[in-house]
Amino acid sequence: MALDIRTILGAVESHALASGYFADVNGHEPKSPPTSGITAAVWVEQIGPARGGSGLNSTSSRLALFVRLYSSLQQQPADAIDPDLMTALDWLMAAYSGDFELGGLVRHVDLLGAYGEPLSARAGYLAEGGAEYRVFTITLPLICSDLWNQEA
């Protein structure tokens, strides 16, 4: 079995876009801030074996994605930036915590961190392209079954 990363990334992007919370969802980190609304971006953060989750002849993997939510600090009202971001974040976290398998593309989300860092989100600020964003970065750890064959 091979890692179908384009399909997995596309599924995570499509899922976020279908929520209705995002003006745009990118497969890369944007170079300019959103002018209105919230933008999301999805990219690979880390991949490696899912220790203890592999079969006898194959290695399952832990594929960690970053899903970053962006909002320009220039948006008004400023007091709505965090609540709007948190509403979108809450929707995503609830979906990822549920039965989230991307239509069978992955085994499951490593919700509680059995194979590494668990599903989590961190708030912060980012300066990019001469503008500042308020961001929330989700670590989305996906477990992919039997990804690599083991040779004896």
Token pair 């593309």 is found at: 105
CB contact at 8 A, 50 and 143: yes
Q: How far apart are CA 65 and CA 97, in angstroms?
A: 15
Global pTM? 0.91
SS3 state at 131: strand
Name every residue whose Cβ is closer than 8 Å to that of residue 33 and which is 6 or more positions away in sequence: 70, 72, 74, 128, 129, 131, 132, 133
pLDDT for res 53: 66
CATH 3.30.70.1700 fits 5-149, yes or no: yes
Tens digit of pLDDT for each residue in 79-124?
999 999 999 999 999 999 987 788 888 889 999 999 999 999 999 9
- pLDDT given for residue 124 in this prediction: 97
Least-confidence region, from 5-9, 17-21, 107-111, 125-129: 125-129
**Which SS3 state, helix, strand or coil, does residue 89 take?**
helix
